[in-house]
Structure 1
Amino acid sequence: MLMKSIVTGLAGTALLATVAIAQTPPAATTDKAAPAATATTTTASGQWRTSKMDGLKVYNEANENIGTINDLLMDKNGDIKIAVIGVGGFLGMGEHLVAVPYEKLKFVNEPVAYTGTGANTGARPAGTTTGAATGTDRPAATASTSSASKWYPDHAVFNASKDELKNMPQFKYAE
């Protein structure tokens, strides 16, 4: 009885081994050399990730925080045409969404410099943002490698007050 079990086990193992051998691909019989693998990488120096633009703070020319970018809308060609800015609210509740032309935004790589004393209330004294009102359009060129390697600007500048944005028609996504 023991011998019968051993023979059956060996026969089963032999069958499984032949199935595994049959499934392995045959070795290449051609004398052609395999093409050399090229290790090319694509770099996008000076480009920004749109995923990092969501939540980007927007200041006005007087260095007051007027909102954040909530979304970027593009046309069928992939060109960004509209920035949806959230104004007011707390943690997304009670926020007023407005659509502004993307080309009206100016992007700045340098952080807003706050030199005042007391509590930071979001309002910045005039003249403390480096490069915010330079009039240059995106992308802002900087000599700093740290801000250039972030893949997104530090903040955006839009020439309007928070009240002017709140008085603009509310943007709603069509369903």
Structure 2
Amino acid sequence: MRTLLLTATIATAAALATPVIVLAQGTPQTVQLVKVDVMKVSTGYRASKVIGSSVVNEAGDTVGKVDEIIVGPDGKAPFVVLSVGGFLGVGDKLVALPYEQMRTDGKKIVLPGATKDSLKSLPEFKYAS
């Protein structure tokens, strides 16, 4: 009985000590890690703080509200989904824009050149189910 337990323990330890290589369609996969400047990243804007924020134009007029931030299918380009028009969430329309079109000015999120009417004229965005 002790021999069986000892053999099982040694086999488990050997399995845990062996590096794991994941094969996808027969090709070994590796993960490339990239170092980031953590100080620079820490000064950015958290999505949880941006979502729900009002968006203004250069004149300070509120033109929409951030409904969501979506990372594009390529994993690189983020998009912002804005809720425009309506009153207290009734009758509003969702539109999507590249996040890079927006600017930050202190705690304000500015969408240069935007008006309520120009945003309402954009195609309606609908979340995929």
| TM-score tier after normalising by the smaller chain length | 0.5 to 0.7
Structural RMSD (CA): 1.9
Q: 1:94 to 1:100 in 2, by over 3 A?
A: same
Q: Say whether residues 1:155 and 2:108 are aligned partners.
A: yes
Greater strand share, structure number: 2
4+ aligned runs moved over 4 Å, structure 1: none
The number of equivalent residue pairs is 90
How far did 1:155 drift? 2.0
How far did 1:49 drift? 1.4
Aligned partners of 1:168, 1:76: CA distance in 2, in Å? 21
Partner of 2:99: 102
Q: Secondary structure at the match of 1:99?
A: strand
Partner of 1:168: 122
- Residue by residue over 1:2-56, the C-alpha shift from the partner in whole angstroms, topping out at 9 and shown as x without a partner, is xxxxxxxxxxxxxxxxxxxxxxxxxxxxxxxxxxxxxxxx875302211111111
How far did 1:100 drift? 0.9
Partner of 1:54: 51
Q: Secondary structure at the match of 1:171?
A: coil
Q: Could you list the runs of 5+ residues in structure 2 that have no partner in the other structure? A: 1-37
Aligned partners of 2:72, 2:118: CA distance in 1, in Å? 26
Tell me which amino acid in the other structure corresponds to 1:66.
Answer: V
Aligned partners of 2:74, 2:127: CA distance in 1, in Å? 20
- For the 8 Å contact 1:72–1:80, the answer to whether it is kept is no
Aligned partners of 2:122, 2:74: CA distance in 1, in Å? 27
Partner of 2:84: 87
Q: 1:169 to 1:51 in 2, by over 3 A?
A: same
Aligned partners of 2:43, 2:60: CA distance in 1, in Å? 25
| TM-score normalised by L of structure 2 | 0.62
Relative contact order, higher structure (CA 8 A, sep 6+): 1
| TM-score normalised by L of structure 1 | 0.47
How far did 1:77 drift? 6.0
Q: Secondary structure at the match of 1:165?
A: helix
- Residue by residue over 1:92-138, the C-alpha shift from the partner in whole angstroms, topping out at 9 and shown as x without a partner, is 221111111111111121xxxxxxxxxxxxxxxxxxxxxxxxxxxxx
Aligned partners of 2:57, 2:79: CA distance in 1, in Å? 17
- Residue by residue over 1:46-81, the C-alpha shift from the partner in whole angstroms, topping out at 9 and shown as x without a partner, is 022111111111111222110111001103564342
